[in-house]
Structure 1
């Protein structure tokens, strides 16, 4: 039976006009939310893994069931591949990971900040089919509209974002451009195995899938918007 996943519906027709002002505000007022105790066990596990590994690091943010994390372990066999998701329900469904994989139950923004404070530079960072928050009033809940976006950018590395909502990918790219990071937006290839269960479902539903890639430079080189 063919999947019947619905397309993203939104009254927003173009890049949100409030995006530049929001980015300026976040540059003036860096994210200072106090650490949450619920994230501390995962951060302790992360510290221990990094002390043991001491090599390249790949981050799979919002990894869901960890399906993508397992695939990325094969793509980066010499790296520590870390999947992060806040949902224990999703992570409980994870496949068996290779030895270079690690799954953490934590808020992604807390992990971003922790890695930035450790001065960790990523080899690669994937964000695959995040919640699009399609209502115009939800701009601040999108990754590029969140005050922790600058923490993400500080980690550097090759960033890849995928979504079945073209506008989300384009808006993410505009945010990167405004902060001094060029990016490339393209239709995602449907060849090969799907990276996530969502991607597999969207392919079966005939969705047009979009990707963004960027090679992030040091956050010290970011533009002021």
Structure 2
């Protein structure tokens, strides 16, 4: 049942002691993993859509079944909404429900696609990271987005970034990582949400878990300003 969603358990009681060292190392040494051929093929398709659109883009990275992406596509009809997820099953199910002409859902590796989007200078107005895998074991710090070498690229994509998580430490670490690279003007808050926008959010709310949100302007949005969140 949805109300039985487990809380995050971790051998970390606070922000990881190595976070600052890891973030600074990744800032100093850019990520150089080769981009997969299938990622380049997928990106070429997406890039052609972005070019044809000719306007601002909203990214929903880790979009799951596309529920949230469909919602924001309806809310911002002048923006192209691109939902990305690694799961073939979730994307296959999500694309069956796509109706909006300004919405594209694609299976792909964010680590590759973000780098290609950054090089192509996509006009990202807003970027959502909703309930990413928290990788709660301390030894997995570098699998979290803020501890991963891709973090600098994530920032370079720009726009208004919104992160949501049911693990407070994840959000606190993300905020500190941003501050370490010069983006200290972040808002971190407990999410007051009465209507769930994703399946994970629905499960967490039904379980009575507290939810947390971080928002920050990474760069000036390329179009008219958007309000953080739609909850």
TM range (shorter): over 0.9
How many residue pairs are counted as aligned between the two chains?
217
Aligned counterpart, 1:68: 68
1:39–1:105 Cα contact (<8 Å) kept: no
Matches within 5 A, 1:1-225: 3-94=3-94, 95-181=97-183, 182-191=185-194, 193-217=195-219
**Which deviates further from its counterpart, 129-138 or 180-189?**
180-189
**Any unmatched runs of 5+ in structure 2?**
221-231
Question: Is the contact made by 2:146 and 2:174 (CA closer than 8 Å) also made in structure 1?
Answer: yes
**1:150-194: CA deviation from partner (whole Å, max 9, x where unpaired):** 111001111000000011011100101111112111011222x32
Match of 1:199, SS state, is helix
Tell me the CA shift for residue 7 of structure 1: 0.2
TM-score by length of 2: 0.91
> Could you say if the C-alpha distance between residues 138 and 2 of structure 1 is closer, same or farther in structure 2, counting changes exceeding 3 Å?
closer
Deviation at 1:131, TM superposition (A): 0.2
Q: Structure 1: any 5+ residue segments left out of the alignment? A: 219-225
Give me the whole-angstrom Cα distance separating, in 2, the residues matched to 1:210 and 1:162. 6
**Separation in structure 2 between the aligned mates of residue 92 and residue 104 of structure 1, nearest angstrom:** 9
Distance (whole Å) between structure 2 residues aligned to residue 110 and residue 204 of structure 1: 34
> 1:103, 1:75 → 2: CA distance?
16
Contact kept in structure 1, 2:164 and 2:214, CA below 8 Å? yes
TM-score normalised to structure 1 length: 0.93
C-alpha distance in structure 1 between counterparts of 2:2 and 2:118, whole Å? 43
Distance in 2 (alpha carbons) for counterparts of 1:202 and 1:97? 27
Q: Secondary structure at the match of 1:172?
A: helix
Deviation string 1:108-139 (CA, Å, 9 cap, x unpaired) is 12111111101223110000000000000000
**Secondary structure of the corresponding residue to residue 190 of structure 1:** coil
Once the two structures are TM-superposed, the CA of residue 197 in structure 1 deviates from its matched residue by 0.7
Contact 1:156 / 1:216 at 8 angstroms: preserved in 2?
yes
Question: 1:147 & 1:204 partners in 2: Cα distance?
Answer: 34
1:59 Cα deviation after fit? 0.4
Given that residues 84 and 106 in structure 1 are in contact (C-alpha distance below 8 angstroms), is that contact kept between their aligned partners in structure 2? Answer: yes
Asked whether the 8 Å contact 2:160–2:219 carries over to 1, the reply is no
What is the CA-CA distance between 1:2 and the residue it aligns to? 5.1
After TM superposition, the structure 1 stretch with the greater mean CA deviation from structure 2, 166-175 or 88-97, is: 88-97
